[in-house]
Structure 1
Amino acid sequence: MEITQQNFWANLLDILEEIADAEFIALDLEMSGIWLKPVSNERMTMSNEILYQEAKRVAQTFHIVQFGMTCLRYNEKSKEYMTQTYNFNLTPMFVGTGDEDKCLAKTIDRSLTFSYNALVFLKENGFSLSEAFLNGVPYLSRPDAVDGREEYLKYLHSPQGKYTKELAEFEARTRERIKSLSSKGRLKPTRETHTLRIHHPGRDDDESTRNKERFVKWLVATELDDYCAWRYNDNFIVVERLDKTRREWQERSGRTFDNNVEAISRQSAFRFIIEALVGSDFANDITPQLLDDEKTTSRFGDKLGEAWKHLKSLEQKIKENQPVIIGHNHFYDLCFIYERFIGSLPSTKNDFRKELRQLFPRLVDTKHLAYVQQKHGDHSRESLADLFKVWKDQKHPRFVQDTSQQPEAHHAGHDSWMTAVVFGKMAVSMAKNDPKLMELDDEALERRRPSIDQLREEKRKKDAIKQARRREQRSLERRKKREAIIRPEDTTKFPALGTQPPAKHSPKWPPEKPTTTATTPTSAESNGGDKPSQDSTPSSKSDTSTSGPINPSLHAGSTAWSKIAKKGTLHEKKPGPTPDELAKKAEEEAEEEAKKAEQEEEAKFGPFRIPEWDMKLWTKHGNILRMRRGRSLHLTDPTTPVVDEGGKAVDKDAGVDPIKGADAP
């Protein structure tokens, strides 16, 4: 789904809901440049620290132009992953034309840098820079938002920095008066006192008068609840308490809305998505009035407070279950995300590693998974598109693609979807090849270890189920015995006790032909086989003179006998199956066996679902980022040792790969 400046606020709640419900979220970025000439020429002696410093320089120089995100949610009923993909074009431009917007743009003076090679690459893949700048989603970093508030407070005092002595004296005098009146209770909500007049002689066109009025309004809004300030005439500013009717009217019309807060919230737009991804607070910074559109109104009516409560509930839900973040070779992506939305990148690699663990405690790099999969086929040097071609045909797990998604390579949204598919297929394949990776790690086992009360309750439930099954079995046995003794539809007479039951009569087959002369079945055949002729009808004497028991329904000349005779010999052998029938039967048996094997695997792997984060798979291969020159950055706790596959401890700070050990390139 394409998210632009025009539909961002209308879809914000839906996007946050998808993040809150997602188990895994795949990210992909397109930047205005990804390479700078290295400072050091000693390429062969690069350490992880030098690689981090290079990535830091790149992230501080260039910008994010497109952000792709795919949310994965498992459907228990259909046994498949539902995906929702979003593509955000980001703009460095400032939106809004008010004084507060202009002040914000002056405060945060951005410099834009583009790499020529990056521009050519984006253009070849259909990216429109002008479209992104005009209709893209704006953003502010955390420090930018703080600086914007501080600068706007200065702007309230004096728009152009002309903080005169007269204005300073008026500010001090007014602040003390409002505080003293408030402390004495004269401005508390009572029936007698609702207004306060602040004297300030001046003219409408006087800049000093406008600055005084602006300051009083800001001071009342920050110091006093349920009050507003407005200019009465050239001599007074009135501070008046809002009654219920007037407050509701002003809330609907936006007159009590803090323009600065609105400007910062509107410009911060995309940062709220990042705050949700890192499990941080975002509801208090989102101005509810920005959500006041047709889509939000249809859900919550005119009650914007309900929309804000929903934001708070989503914020809490994401904090309780922060999704796993997936990326392909996304070390640079994470550096850009930190620099553009969180703050300035830390000075050292170790500090960055600690900060990253706090923001994204659960990370998976598909580049590292591909490197691990080299024993099953070396795909570690291939791009995301190549890996997608290799893994997309694997049957499980199944993914349902968003219908609004555009299948375009190097389109951040589509690339994030390919990353999600490659991740899911790889994870399931690794779990199938090594079932031990599906076991819970030590911490998860300790967390899930049941208490004594839980064990007792579980034993009580099992005993109750066993007793219920025994009662049902005994009841079934008694019912069968009663039915065996007497059945209403059975007329068999049981022999007396102590006597032997009569031998069962078993007629011979095929029946013997009668010894008396009679017409052969051919006479019946000559009459068409339906009715025997009068001459061929055997007499009653011939019936009684036959030797041995005979089935009376198959005596010579009977209709049944004639039908059998018409078909041919009684013991004629039926023809065997044709080769096509044999092939079809073999194919059906093979399909049945494959289906049975698949069901067994589904029962084992539950069913082809991506392993949960507390499995040993992610204890071993999670929180490892692939860097340049075949190196890895481990985000685990520095006090936790890392060992290679041979059990030998490796130095995480040296960038040694845990798969190959100290001999990694």
Structure 2
Amino acid sequence: MEVSSENFWRQLPKILLSIAKCRYVAIDVEMTGIMDRGSENRHDNPTNQQTYESAKNIASKFNVFELGITSVEKLSDGTYKTETYSFTVSPYLHTETRADETFVKGLDRSLSVSYNTLKFLRSEGIRLEKIYEDCVPYLSREEARLATRQMERRQEPWDAKDHGYNEHDEGLTTFSIYVHNTIVDWLYTDQWMRTTDVKILLPNSGSKKRMSVYEQIVRRKARELVPQMGCRLWNHGTTVVISQRDDGQEAKRRESLQDDLNASLGKYTGIRLIIEAILGGKFADLINPDLIVEAMSGWPGEARAFCREVHDFLHPTSSEQSKERSESEVDGCYCHLCCTYHDPGTSCPSTSSEQNVEMAFQTNLATQGKCPCTKKIALSTRRVGDKERTPLVYDVHCERCYPDLGSGRPGTGSSPPHNVRSQTTDTQEAHSASHSGESSSRLEGVADGGREEGDTGTQHITAGTSSWYDSWYEPTFRDDSCQGLEELSTESLGNKVADALKELEAFGRGYEPIIIGHNQFMDLLFLYNTFIDDLPDTLDEFRAKIHNLFPYIIDTKLLAIKDDTIEGEDPLMDLYNRFNGNRTQPSIHWDAAYGYGRRGTAHQAGFDSHMTAVVFLRIAHKLAREESARLEGRGASYESKIKRLYDREWLSAVGYDSRFLGYPQDFHTDTRRDDNAREEHVGRLNWRMQIFDGIRNRVRIAPRKTVHIGWG
């Protein structure tokens, strides 16, 4: 999916939700230059620090012009679903207002392009000039902090600096004495006789610089003699008026500057919102939900569908759903089975039976202080206007409301433990009837509209995200986060979108995906320098900072070399073509608008990130199968490796008897099958699997030279 300024706000919710659901994120960066001629031949055998310094110079000098992100989600049937997004990145920020001009002027940005890179891109059919046409803006964390500091300085009264000239030598003494005497005379005049302000007439001059010096003299004298008063230019810059500050006007001015800053941050943060979501950082408050609602207004129901999908994903209502999510490749951080954090090598606190799973889930809910039903009602009541009242309800399937969930109904004489009022008997009967199987059509349109039954993409989506919801939840009687979305006004829908974004942000803080890249050392440098901050001076500092941002990193170049020392050195496209056969396990699919298949072009960031994701999954599962076979005593023999490398025709041509390798006499090359195709067992990946030993959190900084990022 090509993301531009035209569709960014519409695609943003889907991107954020995709990142929250995924276990892996493949990232690729295209740069305007990758060579540093100044240090290229400076060292014959550079140390790691010297290699880093050279790479830092490159990342600090050149720019990112394209970013590709592919999210990888493991579905319940063992297959994978990918979604790929490509962004054109540009230092150019389009301005529309005076506040925008002020904001952009304070940023010190440059565009540097290597001539060799420019020629290479043109040969590949990639147009660098598109960075000025329809790109999505971005601000780094450091640029946002810089803009905030500049705004705070503008909020303070203007600080008159010394003009730096010798007033006697430059003929300024006469004017300086005039200013001093005028202010002193005003001060010693009785209050009932003097004017409310002091007017200082500036001498006529054709020099803008001299007029600026005159103004600085006035401001400096005013700060010394009447610090409680302020200065402003008047009468086309020929007069400086010294007057009492209006506290109310000053407060409005400060508020206006803050509003301008917030508007600019919301407008220009852009791509960094996606980076923050991957990092588990803060992004919800930087998004104006009205922009999302407005962008989706041409597709009725899309904003509402987003709110529902976020709720369905973050608030599963059955222990069965929790169990399904726990079977995904979550390691070391957050376990969706028991809703707690624990080491993947240890078992969950309580998983011996279905009832224990339910009780563990209930215990986790209890520790949050209140049931999600009550919490969501309080959240909505706070944000929805008085005219849009929403009834307080309790859900008959809520584990907190009703601990005995055997039948999914309240027990005899039971009542909700939290303070909500029940609905009428008729409403409850209608709600019970709605769970008899007539709610399956509620989620039509959530994932690009309804599809035919044979559409495997939609079937995977349903199995992975929404099928459980159809059998457990009905929209006319559910907790308040989804209640009455069809009837919400635009303002209230914006509030719902804001709530959904905050929930995704909170979820991301405890759930970091594994970052996949191919030869990603330079990618990490450019990502940090572009979206985070200036690069640190030492390699050790960089390693620490990157690990803090990306705790889990795998480089597919190192993974490919581990699979095959020689062939692993092949370019990414060759690896992709080798492992992208239709019969190769595991099965990977994508929606039509969010994948490439064989239609992509190498060195386009989106397609490269897609290839990286596919190569990672295919090689990792291949290694997992081989490791499993080795442990079972079914390891591949030397002869089988030779058979894979050399076909019978070549062996015969060079005089090697192929029968000694086990080839039958009637064997033909076109009847051979890939070993991967015969394997029905896909396997299950885990961060601490042995196949990742030696490459876990390692990046390649030079041929045959790797460094460790953080700890394993």
- 1:212-264 CA-to-partner distances (Å, cap 9, x unmatched) read 99985563586xxxxx89xxxxxxxxxxxxxxxxxxxxxxxxxx981221112
Q: Is the 8 A contact 2:232 2:242 kept in 1?
A: no
The partner residue of 1:388 within 561, 569, 576 is: 576
The partner residue of 1:399 within 588, 603, 611 is: 588
Distance 2:225 2:248 in 1: 10
> Does 1:69 find its partner at 2:101?
no
Match of 2:82 in 1: 83
| CA gap 1:7/1:633 in 2 versus in 1, 3 angstroms | same
- 1:40-86 CA-to-partner distances (Å, cap 9, x unmatched) read 74544222111111110000000000000111111214x31111110
| Structure 1 alignment gaps of length 5 or more | 176-199, 223-227, 230-255, 440-589, 641-665
Matches within 5 A, 1:193-342: 216=248, 219-220=251-252, 258-295=259-296, 298=301, 299=303, 301-303=490-492, 304-342=494-532
Q: Is the 8 A contact 1:70 1:416 kept in 2?
A: yes
Q: Is the 8 A contact 1:157 1:215 kept in 2?
A: no
Q: Is the 8 A contact 1:156 1:214 kept in 2?
A: no
Distance 2:232 2:101 in 1: 29
| CA gap 1:437/1:627 in 2 versus in 1, 3 angstroms | farther
Q: Is the 8 A contact 2:229 2:242 kept in 1?
A: no
Matches within 5 A, 1:33-112: 33-39=33-39, 41=41, 43-77=43-77, 79-112=78-111
Q: Is the 8 A contact 1:72 1:83 kept in 2?
A: yes
Matches within 5 A, 1:486-501: none
Q: Is the 8 A contact 2:584 2:676 kept in 1?
A: no
Matches within 5 A, 1:147-226: 147-155=146-154, 164=219, 216=248, 219-220=251-252
Deviation at 1:131, TM superposition (A): 2.2
> Does 1:368 find its partner at 2:558?
yes
> Does 1:635 find its partner at 2:709?
yes
Deviation at 1:343, TM superposition (A): 0.6
- 1:355-394 CA-to-partner distances (Å, cap 9, x unmatched) read 111000000000101111225xx21321101111221125
Q: 3-state SS of the aligned residue for 1:25?
A: strand
Q: Which amino acid aligns with 1:621?
A: I
Q: Is the 8 A contact 1:171 1:215 kept in 2?
A: no
Distance 2:13 2:584 in 1: 33
Deviation at 1:7, TM superposition (A): 1.6
Q: Is the 8 A contact 1:438 1:616 kept in 2?
A: no
| Structure 2 alignment gaps of length 5 or more | 161-214, 305-489, 633-670
Deviation at 1:436, TM superposition (A): 9.1
Distance 2:631 2:221 in 1: 73
The partner residue of 1:425 within 615, 618, 629 is: 618
- 1:148-204 CA-to-partner distances (Å, cap 9, x unmatched) read 1222344456899878369869997599xxxxxxxxxxxxxxxxxxxxxxxx99989
The partner residue of 2:603 within 392, 410, 414 is: 410
Q: Which amino acid aligns with 1:634?
A: H
Distance 1:367 1:201 in 2: 62
Distance 1:167 1:152 in 2: 23
Matches within 5 A, 1:539-550: none
Matches within 5 A, 1:449-528: none
Match of 2:136 in 1: 137
Deviation at 1:265, TM superposition (A): 2.2
Distance 1:214 1:259 in 2: 21
Deviation at 1:120, TM superposition (A): 1.3
| CA gap 1:139/1:202 in 2 versus in 1, 3 angstroms | closer
- 1:616-654 CA-to-partner distances (Å, cap 9, x unmatched) read 3335431111121320011133xx8xxxxxxxxxxxxxx
Q: Is the 8 A contact 1:18 1:71 kept in 2?
A: yes
Deviation at 1:39, TM superposition (A): 2.5
Deviation at 1:425, TM superposition (A): 0.6
Q: 3-state SS of the aligned residue for 1:93?
A: coil
Distance 1:6 1:32 in 2: 24
Deviation at 1:398, TM superposition (A): 1.0
Q: 3-state SS of the aligned residue for 1:114?
A: coil
Deviation at 1:435, TM superposition (A): 2.5
Match of 2:181 in 1: none
| CA gap 1:399/1:438 in 2 versus in 1, 3 angstroms | farther
The partner residue of 1:346 within 526, 530, 536 is: 536
Distance 1:32 1:211 in 2: 53
| CA gap 1:158/1:287 in 2 versus in 1, 3 angstroms | farther
Distance 1:95 1:147 in 2: 19
Deviation at 1:136, TM superposition (A): 0.6
Q: 3-state SS of the aligned residue for 1:136?
A: coil
Match of 2:692 in 1: 618
Q: Is the 8 A contact 1:9 1:291 kept in 2?
A: yes
Determine which structure has more spread, i.e. the larger CA radius of gyration. Answer: 1
Distance 1:417 1:632 in 2: 24
Q: 3-state SS of the aligned residue for 2:535?
A: coil
| CA gap 1:414/1:219 in 2 versus in 1, 3 angstroms | same
Distance 1:209 1:259 in 2: 26
Q: Which amino acid aligns with 1:76?
A: S
Deviation at 1:433, TM superposition (A): 1.5
Distance 2:131 2:152 in 1: 32
> Does 1:118 find its partner at 2:117?
yes
Q: 3-state SS of the aligned residue for 2:529?
A: helix
- 1:391-445 CA-to-partner distances (Å, cap 9, x unmatched) read 1125111111341245222111011101101000110111112139999xxxxxx
4-13 vs 291-300, which moves further: 291-300
Q: 3-state SS of the aligned residue for 1:326?
A: strand
Q: Is the 8 A contact 1:335 1:345 kept in 2?
A: yes
Q: Which amino acid aligns with 2:99?
A: E
Q: 3-state SS of the aligned residue for 2:707?
A: strand
- Higher relative contact order at CA 8 Å, sep ≥6: structure 1 or structure 2? 2
Q: Is the 8 A contact 1:157 1:211 kept in 2?
A: no
Match of 1:7 in 2: 7
Matches within 5 A, 1:506-655: 598-599=679-680, 602=681, 607-609=682-684, 611-637=685-711
Q: 3-state SS of the aligned residue for 2:85?
A: strand
TM-score for both structures, normalised by structure 1: 0.57
Q: 3-state SS of the aligned residue for 2:34?
A: coil
Distance 1:283 1:166 in 2: 46
| CA gap 1:208/1:306 in 2 versus in 1, 3 angstroms | farther
Q: Which amino acid aligns with 2:580?
A: K
Distance 1:159 1:203 in 2: 16
Distance 1:616 1:209 in 2: 76
**Aligned-residue identity in percent:** 29
Distance 2:20 2:631 in 1: 25
The partner residue of 2:548 within 349, 358, 365 is: 358
Distance 1:167 1:87 in 2: 55
Q: Which amino acid aligns with 1:9?
A: W
Q: 3-state SS of the aligned residue for 2:592?
A: coil
Q: Which amino acid aligns with 2:539?
A: K
Q: Is the 8 A contact 1:338 1:344 kept in 2?
A: yes
| CA gap 1:212/1:286 in 2 versus in 1, 3 angstroms | farther
Distance 2:545 2:527 in 1: 12
